[in-house]
Amino acid sequence: METSKGHSFANELSIMAVRLIRWLRAADTGSALSDPLTSAMAVIVHSGGIAPSALAELEQVRRPTITKVVDELVSRGLVRRERHATDGRATMVVATEEGLALWRAGQLRATAPLAERIEALDADELRRFEEALPLFARIMEPPAP
């Protein structure tokens, strides 16, 4: 069975993504958080605040599991629960200043090996890399309804 260029590229990109994540995780030996806590923290930070049910969906876990994760992050002072701005019955999970600082420091530490490799690219390679990034971002967006 012959595969299309799209399938070939998707396969290569998938393999590279897994290798990249493993490489960066292995290089970041100073993380104060487990992988599940780090992942949830990233979603919370990037979202600016998120409902627990949406966090569970994005993390692909059940609500009781995400409740335990959020409870742990709250106990560490990294996130807080707030009432939803328009629905007083709902809560949002929002990063605290301490949580933001910890996450930013972790991001700098975790991406340092990749930053070094990117900075070692020659000018033409760097230009091509920069041009490709918006394409990667675009293919990661959910399809329009």
Domain-wise residue ranges, the chain: 5-140
124 pLDDT above the threshold of 90: yes
C-alpha span between 103 and 27 (Å, rounded): 16
pTM: 0.76
What integer is the mean pLDDT of 114-126?
A: 95
Higher pLDDT, 30 or 110: 110
C-alpha span between 77 and 132 (Å, rounded): 38
Determine the CATH number of domain 5-140.
Answer: 1.10.10.10
Give me the pLDDT at residue 72, please: 96
